[in-house]
Amino acid sequence: MNDAPISTLPGIGPVTQGWLDEAGIGTVGDLRALGAVEVYRRLKFMFPGRVNLNALYGLEAALRGCHWLDLPETVKTALQQEAKAIDQALRKGAGSRCHLG
């Protein structure tokens, strides 16, 4: 199963598949090895205006073999906190690149 294409996981649609392909994440094993949060971080960095919390939910749900609406509330809360931290870090990083001297 680890060598299976990402597209075999439930809930991975063509848009997310395209993002994952561009990020070099092509197999279920790639996704499992990195985990949903790290993959979300990479996608958010690459496509900041397009990737949102639903992508993180979808990645986590795909790894668990369920629909994202069926994720336990505790998992959703933890993912929300992770996404918020990633968003803050990306905003902070963008701001620090603009300072001179």
19, 23, 25, 22: which is closest to 5 by C-alpha?
A: 25
Q: What is the pLDDT of residue 21?
A: 95
**Domain regions of the chain by residue span:** 6-96
- Residue-wise pLDDT tens digits, 35-85: 999 999 999 999 998 999 999 999 999 999 999 999 999 999 999 999 999
Question: Is 6-96 CATH 1.10.150.20?
Answer: yes
Q: What is the pLDDT of residue 99?
A: 53
Across 7-29, average pLDDT: 93
Entry pTM? 0.87
57, 35, 55: which is closest to 47 by C-alpha?
A: 55
- pLDDT for residue 4 is more than 80: yes
